Structure 1
Amino acid sequence: MAARAIWRGHLSVGELVCPVTLHGAASEGERISFHIINRDTGHRVRRRYVDSETGRPVEDEDIVKGYETPDGDCVILEPEEIKAAVPKSDKRLEMQTFIACDDVDTTFFERPYFVAPADSHAAEAYALIREAMEEKKVAGLARTVLFRRVRTLLLRPHEEGIIATTLNFDYEVRDGTEIFDEISEIRVSGEMLDLARHIIETKMGQFDPSEFEDRYEQAVAELVKAKLAGRKPKKPRKIETGKVTDLMEALRRSAGAGAGAKRGKTKATGREAGQRRKAG
């Protein structure tokens, strides 16, 4: 069953318009979630707002949003006022600017969405936009109202479709110089740099997200299973972190280990190939 669309509108490039849908490309639905429980009764606990001064509960109809000024005053904003101030959505993803795919600093990337044609009639225009972008190796910048905010999205060809990534605004991304300027300037010697390059070369691979483990989720799942089974949970494997006292010696050991692992992998592959030849 296809995922439900979170947004429906039109993707446009000039006069070329294509009805599209947006679908979340990342989901937190598979993560383990908890309820807040009263330890004494085992019942779930409900949250209630209380007045910070009087301590009395506040009913839902009396709750409004407020903005605190630098002087400590509070500006009350009624729901109708906020609704009237929010930009109206015209349901259009209009690509007005195209840039090279690697031109955007990934620090600005926020959340990915799949863009799909809304119906079979939109498939041809959708394919035309996607193919043209892929051939030119470009991405498109578009703006639309998404979740009641005007958002900038970066649209790129992705597999057989298009992926849109919402971008953080400039004021939301901190300037890295305030962090990096505190790093001392250090000269790296030729041999150390050669060893570091060698280590990187022996560990070259390809991005495969299936290889990354969510250790927190695994640990919590094991804890829940153990509690249900009435047994003690397995102790997590302790990760040894050796203290670096001699950087050059650490590089040499790492380079030797990397080369050994590479030779071992080659031999194992050779044995497997020999076994396959015998089996054949």
Structure 2
Amino acid sequence: MAPRALWKGMLRIAEVTCPVALHAAASTSERIAFHTLNRETGHRVRREFIDSETGDPVARDDQVKGYQTAGEDHVILDPEEIAAAVPESDKTLNVTQFIPCGEVDDVYFDRPYYLAPANPGAEDSFHLLREGMRRRRAAALARAVLFRRVRTVLIRAHGLGMIASTLSFDYEVRPAREAFRDIPDLRIKGEMLDLAEHIIDTKRGEFDISAFEDRYEAALAELVKARLEGREPPARPLPERENVVDLMAALRESAGVSGKRSPRRKTARGRR
């Protein structure tokens, strides 16, 4: 049985519609979670909102949202006013255009969902849309109200179904130039570049996400298990720290050509 859908609605492309369902493609529910306890009693601690000036507890009915303006002033909004600003949902993923797969910069990707037919009667139209997109190597851009917000969604064929990825808005993504402003524009060439390419070639492989372990979660699981068994957890080894001074020497050592002539790039005829 398929997992419970997070959202159900219609995928609309012009006059063609198809009932679809969104399922979570990624989840943090399997992570180890902790409660905050009172060390002396072992009881769980309850969160309470306190007035920052008087120190008195504030009841839930007296709590309102406020947008801070200049200084300490706030524009106060009641819950009803905020709820009224939430857009009405017509439960439709309305496709506005198709673009080539891979045209959207990964920096705009927010959260992935699996998109599947909502019922057996939708399978024919779903398969038709999916295979048409696959053959044209196209992705669909759609708009919809998802989880109380208007979202832009990128839809792509994926196996027997589709992937629907919500996209961040332009104002939410910071320009790369802000982070890269102080990086000098250097030109690397010659032996250093040959060595770097050689290291990359010797480390080539295929992506297999199962080969990557969440070391933090594994360490937490081992810590909890050790406490349950009444033993001390194994000591964590300290990482080795080295100061690399000579970049060329480090490249040669990484490439395994220390003391040897560095590998050279070859042309199609086998010569430089």
TM-score under structure 2 length normalisation: 0.92
1:241–1:160 distance in 2 versus 1, CA, 3 Å: farther
Aligned-partner SS, 1:201: helix
Kindly indicate whether residue 89 of structure 2 is the aligned counterpart of residue 86 of structure 1. Answer: no
User: For the residues of structure 2 that align with 1:159 and 1:244, how far apart are their CA atoms?
Assistant: 45
Give the percent of matched residue pairs that are identical in Structure 1 and Structure 2: 58
How far did 1:240 drift?
A: 2.3
1:104-119 pair list within 5 angstroms = 104-119=104-119
Match of 2:235 in 1: 235
Match of 1:162 in 2: 162
Match of 2:260 in 1: none
1:115-126 pair list within 5 angstroms = 115-126=115-126
Aligned-partner SS, 2:125: helix
Match of 2:95 in 1: 95
AA aligned to 1:249 is: A
How far did 1:6 drift?
A: 0.8
AA aligned to 1:135 is: R
User: For the residues of structure 1 that align with 2:78 and 2:45, how far apart are their CA atoms?
Assistant: 29
Aligned-partner SS, 1:126: helix
Structure 2: 5+ residue stretches without partners: 258-272
How far did 1:191 drift?
A: 0.8
Aligned-partner SS, 1:57: coil
Match of 2:70 in 1: 70
Match of 2:59 in 1: 59
Match of 2:246 in 1: 246
User: For the residues of structure 2 that align with 1:186 and 1:85, how far apart are their CA atoms?
Assistant: 50
Per-residue displacement from partner, 1:187-215 (whole Å, max 9, x unpaired)? Answer: 21311101111111111111111111111
RMSD after superposition: 1.2
1:1-280 pair list within 5 angstroms = 1-256=1-256
Compare 66-75 and 80-89 and name the one that shifted more.
Answer: 66-75
How far did 1:141 drift?
A: 0.6
Aligned length: 257
How far did 1:71 drift?
A: 4.5
Aligned-partner SS, 1:139: strand
AA aligned to 1:84 is: A
User: For the residues of structure 2 that align with 1:188 and 1:112, how far apart are their CA atoms?
Assistant: 37
AA aligned to 1:28 is: T
TM-score under structure 1 length normalisation: 0.89
Aligned-partner SS, 1:239: coil
How far did 1:253 drift?
A: 1.1
Runs of 4+ in 1 over 3 A off after TM superposition: none
Match of 1:276 in 2: none
How far did 1:175 drift?
A: 0.6
Aligned-partner SS, 1:19: strand
Structure 1: 5+ residue stretches without partners: 258-280
1:94–1:33 distance in 2 versus 1, CA, 3 Å: same
User: For the residues of structure 2 that align with 1:172 and 1:88, how far apart are their CA atoms?
Assistant: 23
Match of 1:262 in 2: none
